[in-house]
Amino acid sequence: MTAISVARPRTRRRLAASPGAWLVWGAVTFFFVMLAGVIGSVVVSSFGSHWFDTWLPQGWTTQWYRQAWQEFTLFDVLVVTVEVSLLVVGISVLVGVPASYVLARRSFPGRRLLYLLFLLPILMPPITYGIPLATVLYKYGFAGNMSGVVMANLVPSVPFVILTMTPFIEQVDPAIERAARMCGARTWQVFLRILAPLLIPGILAASILVLVRTVGMFELTFLTAGPDSQTLVVALYYTMSAAGIRAQQSIDAMAVVYTSMMLILLVVALRFVNPTQLVARVKEEPE
């Protein structure tokens, strides 16, 4: 009886002290309802034949997707998007994994400062360093084509792989590497035959996250892309801002294609990595 009499006042106090929580949840719910409304209106418009002053279109059709596919050359844009993304992922992994191994296994002066420097391209807005980066790339003839787009996207992607892979490597017991070296294995053999199989989940997670970032990266791609090296997000921007009369439904169809691609990539990414791993952690290391 005593336990029951004590528990009830606590419940009343918790409910009485929760107006702020209800306000926060109400604001979050309002935000998601508005977001769903905006996305839903674009999706409905992409399938509607005529939609002016009614709640729903007068008819339904898929012709806007066919028109967008032909008018905006979506196939070529998707091919460029896939090529750029795969190149960025491959180079980032080849550079970032060995660099993260050095940060995880070696202790040297300025290590923590170097780790903090890798955070800057991720924490800073891309436009702040994208403009001077694009200026340098144009000066030396790299911008305006696919090589410039790949090089620009590598600036935040390589540090992202390093910051993602370093905790994975730290979780591997160094005694395994020492045992392999005692058996005569060289450094590259230890890395390829011992560490690589253990790091496959981390490499896969980092690759998928870099892929998502590259497909969604607008600023750096916009500043360095040419007519034949535009990814889907940049092509969508040019389509919306181009002069002339264009059917809004076909532009909405292109936006739905881009949104669907991003949602698929995000769902796949969340199956391989915990969202809390996206938060870079800088911990105090013993000197």
Q: For 209-264, what is each residue's pLDDT tens digit?
A: 899 889 989 999 999 998 888 898 898 888 877 756 667 788 888 888 888 888 88
How open is the CA angle 116-202-80, to the nearest 5 degrees? Answer: 85
The pTM (predicted TM-score) of the whole model is 0.77
Range with the poorest average pLDDT among 140-149, 161-170, 269-278: 269-278
Q: How far is CA 145 from CA 91, 134, 149, 153, in A?
A: 17, 12, 7, 13
Q: Residue 287 pLDDT > 50, yes or no? A: no
Q: 60 forms bridges with which residues in the sheet?
A: 48
Tokens 């000197």, located at residue: 287
What is the pLDDT, as a whole number, of residue 237? Answer: 87
DSSP code, position 192: I
The pLDDT tens digits for 33-81 are 998 888 888 888 888 877 777 777 878 888 888 888 888 888 888 899 9
Among 23-27, 111-115, 214-218, 243-247, the minimum mean pLDDT is found in 243-247
Q: List where CATH 1.10.3720.10 sits in the chain.
A: 65-278
Phi then psi dihedrals of residue 157, to 5 deg: -75, -45
Phi/psi of residue 108, nearest 5 degrees? -145, 160
- Given CATH 1.10.3720.10, say whether it is the number of domain 65-278: yes
Rounded to the nearest 5°, which phi and psi values hold at 199? -95, 5
**C-alpha–C-alpha distance, residues 253 and 259, integer Å:** 10
Place of tokens 């919306």: 240
136-158 per-position pLDDT tens digit:
999 988 888 899 999 999 999 99
Fill in the DSSP letter of residue 245: -
